[in-house]
């Protein structure tokens, strides 16, 4: 960090800045999963999140198709949704995290034919919440879950696309 500050006037200048992804997964029973990050991960331990991660250049390449494949792979790895069960995938936004030295994230919405009771989490996930859309919205308004910044941005983008929801009421936007 000191070298980045000395050379470029930016303590984060020498950090890798891969494009991340985070995903709202809509299940066939119209429920949505929030995962609780393990207390053993480096960033945002114990916070709630949505599935996501990063495209791996050797596996996914550097194309838009590669990012869509990476999103599906992350959903499969983190909550056990088979890639072949994903019926729709849409990019709904892009954000830049001020809290995380400007790291960009692509925001996705996926729909699967799988019901929510069929998901299985991996070791990165220490908890799981399955919520109906209205329940999730109410919890975001009440501030029940402390979300990582990319998932906050994802929730704003997601609920902005839907009729009948006021994102300006989200507790993390009111602070």
* Annotation: CATH topology of 17-174: Nucleoside Triphosphate Pyrophosphohydrolase (3.90.79)
> CB 16: neighbour CB atoms within 10 A?
6
Q: What is the DSSP letter of 145?
A: S
**pTM to 2 decimals?**
0.86
Contacts of 83 (CB under 8 A, 6+ apart): 72, 73, 75, 76
Q: According to the model, what pLDDT value does residue 62 have?
A: 78
Q: According to the model, what pLDDT value does residue 3 have?
A: 84
Q: According to the model, what pLDDT value does residue 15 have?
A: 62
Give the chain's residues under pLDDT 70.
Answer: 12-17, 100-101, 175
- Biggest alpha carbon distance in the chain? 54
What is the Cα–Cα distance from 48 to 36, expressed in whole angstroms?
Answer: 4
What is the Cα–Cα distance from 4 to 32, expressed in whole angstroms?
Answer: 40
To which residue do tokens 């300006």 refer? 168
């Amino acid at each position: 960090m000191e070298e980045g500050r000395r050379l470029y006037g930016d303590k984060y200048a020498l950090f890798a800045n891969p494009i991340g992804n985070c995903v709202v997964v809509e299940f066939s029973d119209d429920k949505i999963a929030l995962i609780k990050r393990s207390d053993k991960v480096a960033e945002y331990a114990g916070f709630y999140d949505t599935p996501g991660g990063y495209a791996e250049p050797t596996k996914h390449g550097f194309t838009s198709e590669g990012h869509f494949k990476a999103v599906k792979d992350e959903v499969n790895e983190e909550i056990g949704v088979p890639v072949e069960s994903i019926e729709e995938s849409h990019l709904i936004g892009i954000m830049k995290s001020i809290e995380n030295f400007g790291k960009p994230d692509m925001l996705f919405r996926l729909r699967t034919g799988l019901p929510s009771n069929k998901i299985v989490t991996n070791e990165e996930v220490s908890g799981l919440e399955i919520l109906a859309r209205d329940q999730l919205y109410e919890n975001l308004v009440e501030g029940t879950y402390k979300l990582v910044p990319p998932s906050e941005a994802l929730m704003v983008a997601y609920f902005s696309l839907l009729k009948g929801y006021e994102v300006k009421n989200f507790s993390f936007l009111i602070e």
